[in-house]
Structure 1
């Protein structure tokens, strides 16, 4: 039987005597934590926290997807209706209910514990994403144990943990980090069954634990994002069937009982939403959201094939340079069972994503664990490329240097401040990136990779913890909500014209009216303690209507900012009525 890919054929070569480099202590840490599963799990969980906590509490709501998800959850909590999904008065049937239930449970728990104004604290809605990201790192470790040594599994978890794309998704109150967790769990369970069959192990000795993980993960993925998880699993199965000309191993997943268990978990809500909304949910989620993205670019997110390949070198940093160096060895090992399984997980779905018209960076995130494990497999065998691809090690230094430039220029442009507080962290990130670059060779590749991971950690602190929260002009909704909280009347109501981002509704209240300039003037004249939030481009229509109805008003304050969703500067005046003539 062919040996499973990535089992090392020989141990790691010893370091030359009397040769000390900055990666040796980091390697010592890996030696220590890889000595037991408990240490490995605790270490990766701690790393997950370190990589996600910076900026987690301080970055305001991000438009538009995060704010839409959070507002829909907020309305569930306010109404007590945990079946229907709405954004203000409109149904929001693009995704199933899973993420809303998770977010609502966190908000409800925080409220029960006495946290004031829990419903407008965006970080509470991000908790499921953070836990999903940490769980995905741990599940990558668990999955990798089927392919590599425990030490390699720790490294695979670290590589995913430090990736830029996971860091972004862990801080957004959306589905993708939690979906990643379910995909890895399903693929890891299926990998164990497949590799056991390849090794000729008796299926009678198999337990129900692995099938239970597989089918429960499928149910969770369906409740989070519909049938997308079935695409990852289905394409992998089809590819393996073509390669092996057999699917007999699938029976080890107990498909009959497993499918019944999965349906028992997902059908209750689907039946409830069908009774509530009829066929409109399936038309909006499957037809309007998923299938339409294949043939057309939704919300201006169209791009040609190859974009994900280009984005990979940034979004998978710092693992990307080593992925390039490992690619030749991985391809040579493609017929080995382990490599074959991981490539079946990776390549078909990647090709599909490259071909669909609508493209967003996070779509390929569930494929990154397969890359991390493949990378570590080549890593352990010491078969990384020694040719021109090794020049890619310079990328470990180039990314922090580029981020420093972009952060300083962006901060000066938006706030007239160069974000000095972030400079020391970016400088340390650049130093570790430089060390990773200069240390890299076949013997010290692990030292280099660990230095790159530390570089990524300091970079995340600088960007998410310092730079992004300081860019206050990018988050005008926060300033508008703060201004409304400071008014002297009780229960202020607002209407917005011109600036109508979901974050504004989340911050100012579900009852905020989204209208035009004329509608804002009419709203303002209908009672006391009302405010019109009018963007400069709609002020003329507001003033004309106010004059027509005899409305007297004054400007409570004016807030300038930048609407990055539309890519333009804005100026929002907060008008308050003084009555009518």
Structure 2
């Protein structure tokens, strides 16, 4: 059931644990795993749950659920750079291959400071396993390493790159680190763990409300929220970050439509209330003479995903 829900939430990447178990059976020669996991019945249950939601979604969206969800956001992100997250040339693609092996020291911090030590300990245990074929502890390590490696290899080869793509590997990496680190505990280990957990909890509760104020989508939403109506449609030009959907979909039922500078005027001219979010420098060119009842909101913020400041304008047609 968890694999079915993982697919519905994140797409095919949610099925990576199946690949991990399959490769573990092959490389670790653990054929009894097949009987223990009851793959036949499990796969049937998983596909049935996916179908209960997926088939109606395909029908309701006239096939766009597959075209956009799988075609654009899975295959498209794998073969081409989307929304500027990644390399636009083959040379830059090669230079970015080590991307996740560098960013992990930030995204997995503070535990990442123990990764060099973990690699050394893993190598030592590998040597023990070579000398003692009956040593079974290494199989658990290998299973975790296989799962971690699969995720890092897949997203290293994918052209679109974002630091959080490798987060599914972190539970496995945490278990691997904990297995080895637990034997190195000092007298203050428990106190340090509690203090660290409390510190991160405080950061998680206090810091985000301050950071969110720098998000341009949040600023536009706060300025325009009193004019938003559930039946509105909205589009975006040259700015299609998920934050637009997160904030505006809380008030608007329509889905965000990706637009170009050429298609934006036609989109907003269609019947019904709607609005367009676009860079401020384009707003004056695309909508130079706005009707008196239209509303315009502008804000500046920081696009964390691209690491640069942006100026955005929201042009709203109330009717």
TM over 0.5: yes
Residue-by-residue CA offset, 1:349-382 (whole Å, 9 max, x unaligned): 3222222222222221121111111111112222
CA distance in 1, matches of 2:122, 2:294: 65
Task: Say which SS state the counterpart of residue 302 (structure 1) adopts.
Answer: coil
- Counterpart residue number, 1:317: 109
Closer, same or farther in 2 for the Cα pair 1:571/1:366, shift >3 Å? closer
- Distance apart, 1:533 and its partner CA: 8.1
Q: Does 1:257 align with 2:41?
A: yes
TM-score by length of structure 1 reads 0.42
- Counterpart residue number, 2:311: 570
Larger Rg: 1
Closer, same or farther in 2 for the Cα pair 1:232/1:293, shift >3 Å? farther
Where in structure 2 are the equivalents of 1:26-425 lying within 5 Å? 216-244=1-29, 246-276=30-60, 281-302=65-86, 304-334=96-126, 335=129, 336-382=138-184
Q: Is the 8 A contact 2:233 2:255 kept in 1?
A: yes
Deviates more, 1:469-478 or 1:217-226: 469-478
CA distance in 2, matches of 1:257, 1:573: 51
Closer, same or farther in 2 for the Cα pair 1:255/1:495, shift >3 Å? closer
Closer, same or farther in 2 for the Cα pair 1:483/1:311, shift >3 Å? same
Q: Is the 8 A contact 1:353 1:363 kept in 2?
A: yes
Greater relative contact order (Cα < 8 A, sep 6+): 1
- Distance apart, 1:309 and its partner CA: 1.7
Residue-by-residue CA offset, 1:268-325 (whole Å, 9 max, x unaligned): 3333344455665444433433233333222222251221121111211222223433
Q: Is the 8 A contact 1:497 1:538 kept in 2?
A: no
Q: Is the 8 A contact 1:561 1:571 kept in 2?
A: yes
Q: Does 1:468 align with 2:260?
A: no
- Counterpart residue number, 2:224: 481
Residue-by-residue CA offset, 1:184-215 (whole Å, 9 max, x unaligned): xxxxxxxxxxxxxxxxxxxxxxxxxxxxxxxx
Out of 530, 538, 543, the residue aligned to residue 283 of structure 2 is 538
Residue-by-residue CA offset, 1:245-266 (whole Å, 9 max, x unaligned): x423211222222222223322
Q: Does 1:451 align with 2:192?
A: no
Q: Is the 8 A contact 2:81 2:160 kept in 1?
A: yes
Q: Which runs of 5+ in 1 are unaligned?
A: 1-215, 385-441
Q: Is the 8 A contact 1:333 1:339 kept in 2?
A: no
Task: Say which SS state the counterpart of residue 83 (structure 2) adopts.
Answer: helix
Q: Is the 8 A contact 1:474 1:561 kept in 2?
A: no
Q: Is the 8 A contact 2:268 2:276 kept in 1?
A: no
CA distance in 2, matches of 1:229, 1:474: 28
Task: Say which SS state the counterpart of residue 160 (structure 2) adopts.
Answer: coil
- Counterpart residue number, 2:299: 560
- Distance apart, 1:508 and its partner CA: 5.9
Residue-by-residue CA offset, 1:465-506 (whole Å, 9 max, x unaligned): 4x2244476623223324527xxxx99979878697634753
Task: Say which SS state the counterpart of residue 562 (structure 1) adopts.
Answer: strand
Closer, same or farther in 2 for the Cα pair 1:275/1:483, shift >3 Å? closer
CA distance in 2, matches of 1:252, 1:512: 43
Q: CA RMSD in A?
A: 4.2
Closer, same or farther in 2 for the Cα pair 1:255/1:316, shift >3 Å? same
TM-score by length of structure 2 reads 0.70
CA distance in 1, matches of 2:232, 2:18: 48
- Distance apart, 1:449 and its partner CA: 4.1
Q: Is the 8 A contact 1:554 1:575 kept in 2?
A: no
Closer, same or farther in 2 for the Cα pair 1:287/1:554, shift >3 Å? closer
CA distance in 1, matches of 2:223, 2:121: 55
Aligned length: 290
